[in-house]
Amino acid sequence: MIRRFLVLVALLTSVPAFGVTGVAFVHGTGHQTDALNDYWRAGFVNSVRQGLPDPSKFVVVNCDFEQYMWDSQAAGCLAGYLHDFIVNQGVDDLVVITHSNGGNVMRWILSNPTWDSRYPTIIANIRWVNALAPSSWGTPLADAVINGSVFEQAVGWLLGYASDAVFMQQEAWMAAFNAYWLYGTTGRPALPVGFFDVVGTDVDSSPFDPDSYCGGYAENLGLEITQNWLDSCSDGFLNCSSQAGAGSVWFWDIGRTGGQEPLSHNQSRRECFGLDIILRNDL
């Protein structure tokens, strides 16, 4: 309902109407140099961008999100990609699709418009952000990695070891950032554009269930293991409360996916259960 209202407002207040629609894919934790193939996979990106009037108007970000979100290699790099895409391609209706920690870096830009001279142009030309499994309130698994607990070997392949981004995603750290630096959480100012969450609620990893193989069986099995130390509602990496903690929930996975299948943290960036088609149609 909120999204429909925003579309109506945009149509009524935009004179002239939006000219050029584009989409940006913003990865999560990691130092990416080929996020198209290594993070998202080309099939997912190519499927989603078919919803654009001009499918060539897309950009896949490659930044170092092992850094704190405000770092020049994180938010600064992301700002460079988005600003150049907007200016060089004439995009004035930008949909940003983020995953996991990418939502935090994106919220930093949206929450701190005076930090960087490029931020206002970026904010002014964003329609909204679709945040896939955002880590808005961090994850207990980050605490486990930093504290060197028994979880470390199990989750290191998901997070990397003791990077600034992992420190940042500890729950207490994210609580402080949300309280003082970031907008969009309860009791804080609203973000200047819509920030719509897609929440993953469970992990399937039965070797006898074909759905467990979507996105990679080994990855889903690992998330099934780590889910044992999370809430009953989680995607194997993030509790649902963290994913739904900023902006507004667009949908809980089983409410929109094919066969009402849950999306693991890995599957929420893959062509699984019609997610790519939902995002495509949103454009």
Domain map (residue ranges) of the chain: 20-282
pLDDT at 222: 87
Separation between Cα atoms, residue 211 and residue 252, nearest integer Å = 18
| Residue 147 CB neighbours (<10 A) | 11
pLDDT at 199: 98
Name the band, by pLDDT with cuts 50, 70 and 90, for residue 13: very low
pLDDT at 3: 63
pLDDT at 156: 58
Name the band, by pLDDT with cuts 50, 70 and 90, for residue 116: very high
122 has pLDDT over 60: yes
Name the band, by pLDDT with cuts 50, 70 and 90, for residue 8: very low
Assigned CATH for 20-282: 3.40.50.1820
Cα R_g (the chain), whole angstroms: 18
Q: Hey, what's the torsion of the CAs at 112, 114, 120, 126, to 10 degrees? A: 0
pLDDT at 6: 57
Separation between Cα atoms, residue 283 and residue 279, nearest integer Å = 7
pLDDT at 226: 86
CB 133 within 8 A of CB 238: yes
- Per cent of the chain over pLDDT 70 is 89
